[in-house]
A and B are shown apart, each in its own frame.
Chain A
Amino acid sequence: MQIIGSAMHRVDARDKVTGHAKYTEDLIGPHTLVAKVLHSTIANGMVTAFDLEEAWSVPGVVDIVTCFDVPDIQFPTAGHPWSTDKKHQDIADRKLLNTRVRCYGDDIAAVIAENEIAAANALRKIKVQYEEHAPILTVEEAMKSTAMPIHEERPDNIVVHSSYEIGSFEEASKEPGLIRVEGTYETPIVQHCHIEIANSFAYMEAGKIVVVSSTQIPHIVRRICSQALGVGFGDIRIIKPYIGGGFGNKQDALTEPLNAYLTTRVGGRPVKLAYTREETFACTRVRHAMEFHIVSYIRPDGTFAARSIDAYSNQGAYASHAHALVANAVNGFRMMYPVGAIKGNAYTVYTNLPTAGAMRAYGIPQIGFAMEAHVDDIVSRTGFDPIGFRKRNMMKLGYVDPITTITCHSTGLEECIEKGSRHIGFAEKRMRYAAQTGPLRRGVGMAIFCYKTGVYPISLETSACRMILNQDGSAQLQVGATEIGQGADTVFTMMAAETAGFTPDKIHLISTQDTDVTPYDTGAYASRQTYVSGMAVKKTAESLKTKILAYAGKMLHKDPWDLDIKENQVVHRNQEKSLIPVAEVALEACYSLTDSNHIAAEETHHCSDNTYAFGVCFAEIEVDIPMCTIKVLDILNVHDSGRIINRQTAEGQVHGGMSMGLGYGLTEFLKFDPKTGRMLNDNLLDYKLMTAMDTPELHAAFVEPEDPTGPFGNKALGEPPIIPVAPALRNALLNATGVAVGSIPLNPEKLFFEFSKAGLIR
């Protein structure tokens, strides 16, 4: 194998550097109608009436739809595989437009007009009457306020409460001589900030509704649209072109269900529904804010005797992915340090904030911050070595999670830690920085993580792939798995080429998904595609190769078993000399007057395993105490994602995740007006994501144990890089200043408060 593991350039790079790559908005035809959504200007209450007279008088208005007009159907939006078991189905708690207003910016009406200006003008002229209630913005308040539940199906505002216990926490914590450490940790609401906004356009063709959308999950969005409109799966067709980033936000049905409905209101004429940047912030999805309370009992030998966690997740207005995230978080708490008795308790709670959904690493950046901050709180109080303490307690090879049964099939975590520690000079610097004085102080910090690969056995893992041989010996490769910027198309091309014995230029990957013709796959999330969809590609390429060799065997009068394909040539197994080019076999197979055979292959992989990826971040920072600022001097992520398929795209994933992690740790949070629940920084100026100037040089390294369950020894990589960054920075701050901060972002406002409290500034 030579292609796998190389640094092959992206298959879509040329289209993307020339402007040829088409994204949803680039595909919209002329004469497309423009739809805009009217969002509520209260966070909690009811729409009681509309006055549409002035809006209708705007020239160019084609239709106005309100929450009183839409089908009386509640539907779920989460990008999960559907479950045929009612108990595991996503919560259906919203309509296309809602009379019951549950957040500031809820969708209550929509205008369809001939152009942007008419739509915007008409929207401004709609008058709304509300019955208004005070917004409930915190979990604490929501759990107390049951007078007017946010959803009548959940009278206590609790979406789901779950718990587990491994061993007996109470018994284990009674062991004599234990050290007790307790801490509370909070993470903020942040947003994905993909550069392409949420958008779609919809029209009717051949009696069905077609939605072209910037989505990570075309097949799932088809199912959701069919549920929302009360029509068959087959009545909906979703087309997904190139997308300008998703990071989990587009692992949800966003504009598609309403847009599918709107085109039916205007006789199937094309309708565009593109959110503004501000709407994308406030009216799509955000990352769940979580609060964790952790209690640990540690033996004098530095092992955990008992640990407990209480977790509270702020869901916002609608369920979306709901409890799955905080459940993932408290499961991650158990898996990372599976030692002693462990007790977990998690609540997901409705509030009148924007709906929280999936975002890169799905609850694990939240628990990663809390757990790794807590570990450093333990070592700073007990004097244990942070690396030694982690190594003693962390997951080892062969671990089987007692609840999910997910097994540690491979781990390079120790090697990751050693590599990172050497790079930064961790032990020596940590000692040196421990007792500094003066305004400028330096610190080093670290954090580790584990991350599952895909969603099995919690949910279905299935993927299909199709390959069709062309007459010139090249092949189309069609997958349901989606390219969202992470490089999926490139690694699938490499996998197919490697397996079939083709050179990568002979693989023509079809990037666009069209649910009418594309094989089924649930889509881009859970860092699952190289693992699950990769196996479907491998199986399909093997099947195609077998069929090519069967035909070649007939042409050459040889047993196909003796044949192989190397660099587009049919060869004797274990030999190099070409017997016949694949192109010649393909041409004969298509046009033979006696034995025409259109060679194609299609395979499904129904994955029934999972495996853990691991990694670590080491950071060195300089803290300016009077200025309350942190400067990152050096930062490195070392990942065990099994065997690396493509070195260049893998590095790119790590850099991007680290940058997002730096924002999560240092600058990013969404702010809300406590009186109205309105988002205050819903734009890229006031919301501080990392610019090129803010981002330091980022270092990425890998250790590569072969995972026995991955198609090419590979494991999750896309999401993990964000996880360890924020806690590593926080722990570096602890090393530098002795101040243990329990929340992020570590921005000047927070540091001023914390440094004042600690007496570092007056």
Chain B
Amino acid sequence: MRDLTGPEGDGLMKDTINAAAPVIEARNLNLTFDTADGAVHALKDVNLTIGKGEFVSFIGPSGCGKTTFLRCIAALETPTAGTLTVNGMTPDEARKSRAYGYVFQAAGLYPWRTIAGNIKLPLEIMGFDRAEQESRVERVLELVELKGFGKKFPWQLSGGMQQRASIARALAFDADLLLMDEPFGALDEIVRDRLNEELLKLWARTEKTIGFVTHSIPEAVYLSTKIVVMSPRPGRITDVIDSPLPKERPLDIRDSREFIEIAHRVREGLRAGHGDDM
């Protein structure tokens, strides 16, 4: 596995030993889509281990398979070869045992439900009783700093607040794994910075494992304990970087030397992966 993850194999070695049972483990994962233009190799020989409590960012240009990989973990896509386990189960078993919360790029709140009603949606489907629903809604609203907004309808909230509500919805049923597919991609940079800061706090408080897809190098470096650099045609992992940054990260850490060095390495990885078409 390590030889496929690039020059950072040794750092990963230590990491794998430290984490007890991995939350996500991919071995020689392949996924090919049959399209009208022929087969598209969306994922090629992906090997990756994610330990408990890690914050893992997937970064790469469009078509590198980062979203596809996240969707495989969520059992929304089915790999065509290789093995993938989530909490030691198959992704589909993990989905059925409600192992993860998924946050999409669009908030996707139901316009006919209030914010509290939207957060209750998964709870209703999973059969929590009414009192439990109420207390959970209160708790996650506080967690994403939307206390007091439960009775508002989505259109009464800004885009950033809507996305926070959708994160609250994914947190409501206490899955240990949070999968986020470019959750802040549609927001402006100022809102994005704030939400990144809040997400780190939330991660520190809840100790969840987070898989985070992004286009943004600063976002990936700022948030992650592990950065997975991917490249397209075929979609594959070109580099895995274990971040030396401390867990406590004020926004101005982005001006530090370490931060800039990691960002540089990510950029190099992206450029190398692109080869001739850039």
A, B bound: no
Q: Which residues of A are in contact with B by a Cβ distance under 8 Å?
A: none
Q: Which residues of B are in contact with A by a Cβ distance under 8 Å?
A: none
